[in-house]
Structure 1
Amino acid sequence: MSAVRFIVVMGVSGCGKSTVAAFLAGRLDWEFIEGDALHPAANVEKMRQGIPLDDTDREPWLHEIARTIRDWRGADKAGIIACSALRRCYRETIAGGADDVHFVYLRGSSPSIAQRLAARQGHYMPASLLESQFATLEEPGPDEPAITIDTGAPADELVTEVLGILHLAA
């Protein structure tokens, strides 16, 4: 595994990406961006209406995430982004062929994540889109720069596990 400078915490909506990514960034004192904040307004409105995004919708968003990583690299910073990155081609766009971008896939079952989404308030992503996310999801393959963490434990424990697997000191 090459040196980790950028981590994309990925998975379906409600798996804990934002929480784990923010905790990781805090423990490492790295930059952090919530990938949802980089969506074009049209994407947010589409999701708010319960309409799943397609690849055409996602393309400018994925390029913005990749640009953010390139900007951090150019500024000699390290960073963490919370982003669904559901398909292999999305992860390839985000990484842009660089070997310093690693993915942390937060894996959970549809029923457990649906419970989390039902309890979540103030987010534009309705629980009704969860199944479309699972349908789109391509779990990272063994040839990808990714680790898989099951979401059952508290966020601080997940962060400690990620730090250990990626050999990052915090």
Structure 2
Amino acid sequence: MADVAPQSVPTAVLVMGVSGSGKSTIGEALAEHWNAAGVRTEFVDADDLHPAANKEKMHRGIPLTDDDRWPWLDRCAERMAEVLATGSRCVLANSGLKRAYRDRLRRTVPELFTVFLEGSRELLDERVHTRHHEFMPATLLDSQLETLEPLADDESGVVVEIGRTPDAIVADVDAALVGA
């Protein structure tokens, strides 16, 4: 795996994608990799920041609305800012499905670099049907895919294909940062 110079690691990284894309796995792997390289980094899983009402709604198979998401996104941004205030870098695993959601995070954390985990419908479907998630049933994958807006050209970030090992994906992110 490539080694990135500590100064090239963004201070705030959003690992985004639909359910089953591997946001938590890759977010944790990036944080561990950068910590091992001497870049103090904290991983935050946005699933842990959902209010109980959101979790219950998803558990029942009901997609969240924008009104459900705004307070949660604000809490995610606040948590990132708290981590950054300690001098650590922050990696946030968050679906970030719409540009407006990512912009909402950037209002608090303007330096946000986005890693968009992209994969085929077939691979995503296989993943969500072979795992257990506390409150995100496989039936919500379609609504997430319908909501998903890819990174725009003016958004700082990289698109990474998920059909490989976490180590290979982390290496892709490192390579993108070196080339940035």
* TM, length-normalised to structure 2: 0.88
Deviation at 1:97, TM superposition (A): 6.3
Matches within 5 A, 1:36-55: 36-55=47-66
Gaps of 5+ in 1: none
**Deviates further, 61-70 or 71-80:** 71-80
In the aligned structure 1, how far is the partner of 2:48 from the partner of 2:152? 27
Retained in 2: the 8 A contact 1:3–1:100?
A: no
Matches within 5 A, 1:1-170: 4-29=10-35, 30-96=41-107, 98-167=109-178
Secondary structure in structure 1 of the residue aligned to 2:178: coil
Deviation at 1:73, TM superposition (A): 2.3
What is the one-letter code of the residue matched to 1:6?
A
**Deviates further, 45-54 or 92-101:** 92-101
Gaps of 5+ in 2: 1-7, 36-40
In the aligned structure 2, how far is the partner of 1:130 from the partner of 1:145? 26
In the aligned structure 1, how far is the partner of 2:19 from the partner of 2:9? 28
- The percent identity for this pair of structures is 39
Deviation at 1:122, TM superposition (A): 4.0
Retained in 2: the 8 A contact 1:140–1:146?
A: yes
What is the one-letter code of the residue matched to 2:106?
A
Retained in 2: the 8 A contact 1:88–1:140?
A: yes
What is the one-letter code of the residue matched to 2:62?
I
Q: Deviations over 1:65-112 (max 9, x none)?
A: 110121122222211010000000100111216442101000012221
**Deviates further, 94-103 or 138-147:** 94-103
* TM, length-normalised to structure 1: 0.93
In the aligned structure 2, how far is the partner of 1:8 from the partner of 1:93? 12
Number of residue pairs the alignment of both structures matches = 167
RMSD, aligned α-carbons: 1.6
What is the one-letter code of the residue matched to 2:99?
R
Deviation above 6 Å: which 4+ runs of structure 1? Answer: none
